[in-house]
Structure 1
Amino acid sequence: MTETPAPITQNRPLEGVLWMLAAGLTFVAVNGTVRWLGTDLPAAQSAFLRFAFGVVILLPTLAGVLRAGVPRGAWPLVAGRGAIHTVAVICWFYAMARLPVAEVTAIGFLNPVCVTLGAVVFFGEKLAFRRIVAVLVALLGALIVLRPGLREIEPGHLAQLLAAICFGGSYLFAKRLSQMVGAATVVALMSLSVTLGLLPFALAAWVPVTPTQLAALAVVAGAATVGHYCMTRAFIAAPMAVTQPVTFLQLIWASLLGVLAFAEPVDLYVLLGGGVMIAAISYITWRETVLRGRAVTPPPDAPRV
C-alpha cells in the first residue's frame, strides 16, 4: 500500500508536545550511549556505522518508498537535508565524545532557536511577543549553563555549535518534506542520504571496530530512528514554534544522566539555567495550548469527519 502524507493541520499542540517529549527521551538515550563509547572511534566512522544500522532497520520502509516513488520536488529537499545533516552528525559525534552530556545538550539549545526563527522566515509561522520573550528567557537559561567568557572554549564546543546550527537547518528541511511525504518516508530517506554522505569521510579515517562498539552503535541507531520518527510526527501535529521549545527539557535529563552514569559533577549553574528553561517552556506550552484550543473549536454546523 502506498504511503500518503499525513495532513498538515498544525492545530494539535498537545499531541505535538507529547511527540517531542518522546523524541527528547530517546535522544538522551542516544547521547548516553555515544558518550560511553568515547573517542576510540573517529567521529565520522561512528556516525556512519550508526546511520548504516539505521538503514538496515528501515530497509522494509525504504523498499516500499522506492517502489512507490517519491514526488520529484522532494528529491532536492532530501539531498539538501542529507548534506547538512551529514555535517551536523560528524560534529555532534565529535563533541559528544569529548564534552559532558549536559554541556553538549546546552549548546544544542541553539538548534530550537534557529528552527523557530527559520520557521517564521521560511514558513510564515507567527511569532507572538510572548513567545519571543519565552524563547529569549530559555536562551538566557542556556547561557547561564554555558557561562561564555568565563572558561576556555574547546574544539568540542565549536563542533557542537556548528552541529546545532546544521541540525536546525535539517529540521527545516524535514518540516517541508513532511508536507509532501509521510513521516516514515522522511526518516527513511534521511537515513539513506546521510549514510551515503558519511561514507567517504568514514573510509578516510577507518579504524578496527570491536563487537561491543558495533552493538552500542546498533542501539544508537535504533533509538535515534525512533526519536526522528517521533520528531517528525511532532512537526506534523503542531507548528515548530510550539514543539521546539520542549527540547529544552533534555538539559534536565542529560544532567541527570551525566551525574548518574558518568559521575560528572553537579553544576549549580546547570540547575539554575535548567530551571529558567523549564519555566519558559511550561509557560509557552500552556499558552499555546489555550490559544490553539480556542482557534480550532469548530462551529456548531461544522461537518464531522
Structure 2
Amino acid sequence: MLATGLCFVGVTGVVRYLGTELPAAQSAFLRFAWGVVFLLPTLAPMLRAGFPAGTLALFGWRGVFHTAAVVFWFYAMARIPVAEVTAIGYLNPVLVTVGAALFFGEKLALRRVLAVCVALVGALIVLRPGLREVTSGHLSQLAAATFFAGSYLIAKRLTQTLPASTIVAVLSLSVTVALAPLAWWVWVPVSGAQLGWLALVAAFATGGHYCMTRAFRAAPLAVTQPVTFLQLVWATLLGALVFGEGVDPMVLLGGTIIIGAISYITWREAMLKRAPVTPHDTETV
C-alpha cells in the first residue's frame, strides 16, 4: 500500500506538471491509450474468448461512468492543489458505500450512516464553502469522485462473473474508445515530451493498481485501508516541494477525518464478515 500511494501520487504529480497545455479529454485519452498498449498481450485472447451474457451492457455503462470521471479528474488536477484533489478523492469509497445500499440493497446500519456523515463533514472542512471560493476545479473533483464511485459499483457487480484482469483490461479499452471522439473534438498538437510524460502516467497507474491488488491479497482491507492516509502526506509534500503550493492544515484535517471514517467502515465490514465463521469456544479443538 505504501508503493500504491507513491505510484498514485506520481500520477497526480505528472498530470499537475503538464498543467492545462492539453485539454483534459485529450490528456485522459492519451493516458488510457498507453494503458491499452501495455495490456495488448492480454486483450487479444480475452476478446476471442468472449464474455458471459449481460456483461457487455455493464461494461458499456462502466465505460461511460469512468470516462466522465477521468475527464473531470484531469480537469481538476490541472487547476487545484495536489493535496486537495487527493483529499476530495477520499470520498470515493464513501460514495460507494452509499451506492451499494441504494442500488444493491446492502444494509446501511446506523454506525455506517454516522461514519458517512463524518466523512461528509471532512469534505466540508476541505472545501469550506462560504469561507473561501469553491472553484470549478473543486466541483470537477467532486464530480469525478461521484462518477468513479458509479464505475466501482458496476465493477463490483462484474466481479461476480469475471476475473479482475478481464475487468481492468476491458475498462482500459472501453474508456479509450469512449474518449476518442471527445479528444478529437478538442485536439491540439502534442509534443514527444508530452507523450512521454503521459506514458509515465499510464505506467504509474498500472503499477499502482498492481501493488494495490497484491496488498489486498496479502492483508485484509482493515489493515491496508488506513495506510492510504499516507497518500495525502505524499501529495502535500509533492505540492509544497515541487509546485510551491502552500500546506493547508484544514485540507489535512478534513482528509484525516474522511480517511478515519473510511477506515472505520472498512473495519466494521471486516468484523461482520468474520463473525459468522468464528467458532464458539465449545466448537474449538
**1:28, 1:254 within 8 Å by CA — same for their partners in 2?**
yes
Q: Where does residue 271 of structure 1 map in the other structure?
A: 252
Q: Is the 8 A contact 1:249 1:278 kept in 2?
A: no
**Alignment partner, residue 29 of structure 2:** 48
The code of the aligned residue for 2:136 comes to P
Q: Offset of 1:279 from its aligned partner?
A: 3.9
> Aligned letter for 1:251?
L
Q: How does 1:126-145 map to 2 (within 5 A)?
A: 126-145=107-126
Select which of 52, 60, 79 maps to 2:41.
60
**Structure 2 unmatched runs, 5+:** none
Q: Which of 143, 149, 168 is equivalent to 2:130?
A: 149
Alignment counterpart, residue 188 of structure 1, candidates 163, 166, 169? 169
Distance 1:280 1:107 in 2: 13
What is the aligned partner in structure 1 of residue 62 from structure 2? 81
Cα distance between partner residues in 2 of 1:138 and 1:249: 17
Conserved 8 A contact 1:144-1:272: yes
Q: Which residue is equivalent to 2:185?
A: 204
2:204 to 212, 219, 223: 223
Q: 2:167 aligns to what SS in structure 1?
A: helix
Query: TM-score if structure 2 supplies the norm length?
Result: 0.86
Amino acid at match of 2:83: A
**RMSD of equivalent CA atoms:** 3.1
Sort the Cα spacing of 1:220 and 1:195 in 2 relative to 1 into closer, same or farther, 3 A: same
Does 2:76 match 1:95?
Answer: yes
Corresponding pairs, count? 282
- The offset of 1:32, in angstroms, is 1.3
1-side partners of 2:43 and 2:257: how far apart?
42
- The CA distance in 1 between the partners of 2:102 and 2:45, in whole Å, is 34
Separation in 2 of the partners of 1:168 and 1:250?
19
Q: Which moved more, 1:75-84 or 1:112-121?
A: 112-121
SS state at 2:174 partner: helix
The amino acid across from 2:123 in the alignment is: A
Q: CA deviation at 1:117?
A: 0.6
Alpha-carbon distance in structure 2 between the residues aligned to 1:73 and 1:243? 33
1:31 matches 2:20? no
Relative to 1, partners in 2 of residues 1:33 and 1:164: Cα closer, same or farther, differing over 3 Å?
Answer: same
Structure 1 gaps of 5+ residues are 1-17
CA-CA distance at 1:282 after TM superposition: 4.5
Contact 2:94 2:262 in 1 (8 A): no
Indicate conservation of the 8 Å contact 1:119/1:241, yes or no.
no
Q: Secondary structure at the match of 1:40?
A: coil
For 1:243 and 1:51, how far apart are their aligned partners in 2? Answer: 27
Does residue 296 of the first structure (1) align with residue 264 of the second (2)? no
1:73 and 1:229 map into 2 onto residues whose CA distance is: 27
* Other-structure match for 2:156: 175
Alpha-carbon separation, structure 2, partners of 1:112 and 1:144: 18
Q: 1:3 aligns to what?
A: none
Residue deviations 1:151-209 (CA, integer Å, cap 9, x gap) = 12222222222211111111111111111111110010000000000001111111121
Q: TM-score, normalised by structure 1?
A: 0.81
Distance (Å, rounded) in 2 between the aligned partners of 1:203 and 1:155: 23
Match of 1:5 in 2: none
- Please say if residues 38 and 98 of structure 1, whose CA atoms lie closer than 8 Å, have aligned partners that are also in contact: yes
Counterpart for residue 71 of structure 1? 52
Distance 2:117 2:3 in 1: 24
Q: Distance in 2 between matches of 1:180 and 1:246?
A: 30
The answer to whether the 8 Å contact 1:116/1:240 transfers is no
- Secondary structure of 1:39's partner? coil
